[in-house]
């Protein structure tokens, strides 16, 4: 096990000068520990096992060696030379965006294959040829079954967020895809934990990997505070509204799509720039919503666990568990959206009297030290912990989006329907169907979230910035 705390410059890691120059142009001057530890081994052709939480700079840690190897082996074949498997389509798009400046510098082509996007566009992109392919397992499996993609030339494979991939039920798909990669290829695996199915992947597909653990788990991040706010059910909506009206970027977690929409509407009516993100939204809406949140056009995002697995936005300084998560892993995942890359952040859980015992066990299993507070709307303690304030109570009206340029002639058109619009035999795991909010063959929706039970909720009145 290696724990490398040194921070040399990128030029000291074996990267070529033109990549170092591009990093400097992008304001990336000092490598993060995970990059310092893993890039030399990856460039040397060794299998690498990186253990670190989201936000530690893993995208460039695997992305730069991947681009260098794939770009150097560009040949007449249009099949990909490098493969990145990720659990969500949002993460796939963020990985692709993060790698594009360096891909252009090296003359390498990067493509993405994800659910919720046009099959036609993705198939055309594969036919034109890409050196590096970023993909979610379900859609990649679909396209391989249609004969649109072949992994036989892949020389370097990356499994990112491996623990989330296994938790979402992708283990069979990931194994099947890795079985199709050329024998003897290099493997890089990054994960926050190395137990269970992740350990199975390591033992089955990696050859004496160099292991680097340079980032503490979420529960041990010293810049993150954990708070339990004891509230009465009658006050909960008002407390949520006051917290959401604070200054700063705020992420609210709820248990269902219905809850996300209801609370988002409640906050918008109270004057809070807010939007909901869940598996029932189309991919284009989810992409636009995340962009608005990232750019500061909305200050508060109300999300479910299924949708939030792809949220990698810097500057989130408060995460609120409006509804408690179902387990300690979900709690840690939610908390990992804040206190990224050395920044500070707080995780706040709203707990009713009948939830206190369950909440204490959840937080104990998560291994966090929590401060407890009894709060009411308008309390000084509520403001001190969260920055809560009284909203304007004038409904927020979203300004119109800037006019985008019209697509030129010759762009790929998406088929409305027909056998080519959907693959035969959708064998994706329930996790990806849930994430996409698609329909199964029996016509029922796979929305990936539990329906809220009981009564409907009441409605109340620079240094480097990692991408993954």
Mean pLDDT over the full length of the chain:
83
Q: Which CATH architecture has domain 218-386?
A: 3-Layer(aba) Sandwich (3.40)
The answer to whether the 10-213 and 218-386 domains have the same CATH topology is: yes
Q: How far apart are CA 337 and CA 279, in angstroms?
A: 18
* pTM value surpassing 0.75: no
Look at residue 442 and tell me whether its pLDDT is greater than 70: no
The secondary structure element, H or E, covering residue 189 is strand 186-191
For the stretch 146-201, pLDDT in tens is 999 999 999 999 999 898 888 888 999 999 999 999 778 999 999 877 777 888 99
For the stretch 70-95, pLDDT in tens is 877 655 568 999 999 999 888 898 89
**Domain covering 10-213, topology:** Rossmann fold (3.40.50)
Domain borders along the chain are 10-213, 218-386
For the stretch 346-387, pLDDT in tens is 999 999 999 999 999 999 988 889 999 999 999 999 999 999
Q: Which two tokens stand for residue 308?
A: 């939030």
Burial 119-149 (b: 16+ CB within 10 A, else e): beebbebbeeebbbbbbbbbbbbbbbeeebb
Alpha-carbon torsion (439, 440, 444, 447), positive or negative: negative
């Amino acid at each position: 096990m290696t724990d490398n705390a040194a921070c040399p410059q990128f030029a000291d890691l074996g990267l070529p000068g033109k990549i170092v120059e591009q990093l400097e142009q992008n304001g990336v001057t000092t490598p993060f520990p995970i990059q310092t530890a893993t890039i030399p081994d990856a460039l040397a052709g060794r299998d690498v096992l990186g253990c670190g939480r989201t936000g530690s700079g893993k995208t460039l840690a695997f992305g730069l060696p991947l681009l260098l190897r794939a770009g150097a082996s560009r040949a007449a074949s249009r099949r990909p030379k490098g493969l990145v498997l990720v659990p969500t389509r949002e993460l796939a798009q963020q990985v692709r965006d993060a790698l594009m400046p360096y891909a252009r510098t090296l003359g390498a082509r990067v493509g993405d294959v994800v659910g919720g996007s046009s099959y036609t566009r993705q198939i055309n992109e594969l036919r034109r040829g890409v050196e590096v392919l970023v993909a979610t397992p379900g859609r990649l499996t679909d396209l391989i079954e249609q004969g649109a993609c072949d992994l036989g030339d892949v020389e370097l494979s990356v499994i990112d967020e491996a623990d989330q991939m296994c938790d979402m039920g992708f283990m069979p798909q990931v194994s099947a895809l890795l079985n199709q990669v050329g024998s003897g290829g290099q493997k890089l695996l990054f994960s926050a934990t190395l137990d269970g199915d992740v350990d199975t992947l390591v033992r089955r597909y990696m050859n004496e990997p160099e292991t680097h653990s340079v980032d503490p788990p979420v529960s041990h991040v010293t810049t993150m505070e954990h708070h339990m706010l004891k509230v009465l059910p009658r006050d909960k909506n008002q407390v949520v509204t006051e917290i959401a009206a604070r200054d700063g970027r705020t992420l609210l977690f709820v248990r269902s799509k219905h809850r996300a929409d209801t609370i988002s509407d409640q906050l918008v009516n109270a004057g809070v720039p807010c939007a909901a993100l869940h598996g029932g939204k189309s991919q284009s809406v989810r992409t636009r919503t995340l962009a608005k949140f990232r750019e500061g056009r909305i200050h508060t995002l109300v999300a479910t666990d299924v949708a939030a697995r792809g949220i990698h936005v810097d500057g989130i300084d408060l995460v609120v568990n409006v509804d408690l998560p179902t387990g300690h892993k979900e709690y840690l995942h939610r908390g990992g959206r804040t206190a990224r890359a050395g920044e500070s952040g707080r995780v706040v859980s709203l707990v009713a009297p009948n939830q206190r015992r369950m909440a204490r066990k959840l937080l104990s299993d998560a291994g966090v030290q929590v401060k407890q507070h009894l709060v009411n709307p308008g309390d000084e303690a509520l403001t001190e912990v969260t920055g809560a304030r009284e909203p304007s109570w004038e409904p927020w009206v979203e300004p119109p989006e800037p006019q985008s340029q019209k697509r030129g002639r010759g762009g790929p058109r998406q088929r409305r329907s027909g056998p080519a619009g959907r693959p035969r035999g959708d064998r994706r795991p329930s996790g990806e169907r849930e994430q996409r909010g698609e329909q199964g063959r029996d016509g029922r929706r796979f929305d990936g979230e539990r329906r809220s039970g009981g009564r409907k909720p009441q409605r109340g009145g620079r240094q480097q910035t990692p991408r993954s």
